[in-house]
Amino acid sequence: MMGLPAAQVYVPGLDLTFRWGRGDSCMFVLRGKRAFADEGPIVDQTPVDQRGWVDTPHVYTAVNKYLAAKHAEWVQRHGPVKPPSH
């Protein structure tokens, strides 16, 4: 079970959801757009600061670090993912 509270980012172009729960030692990468209660299928995980995320930009920094390492070509075409503007 992933830690709560959790931050979540969906990247439509890759159909991936990134979920980082407080106290988790990794951010989980799930296939598809997932509701917070939906924990699967986990397709990958990436180490993160176990103290948890600080704020939304912190979460997006971790997501973009993962994307740059695992989906560099996609990032080159589309740029880094950004929080929705309000």
- The residue ranges of every structural domain in the chain are 6-78
User: Can you tell me the mean pLDDT for 52-58?
Assistant: 85
Counting other chains too, the contacts that 44-47 makes at CB distance below 8 Å and 24 or more residues apart are 44/70
Nearest-angstrom CA–CA distance, 31 and 40: 8
Confidence class for position 86, pLDDT limits 50, 70, 90? low
In the predicted model, what is the mean pLDDT of the chain? 89
List, for residues 64-79, the tens digit of each pLDDT value. 999 999 999 999 999 9
Question: Is residue 52 over pLDDT 90?
Answer: no
Q: How many CB atoms lie within 10 A of CB 28?
A: 22
Do 33 and 17 form a contact (C-beta atoms < 8 A)? yes
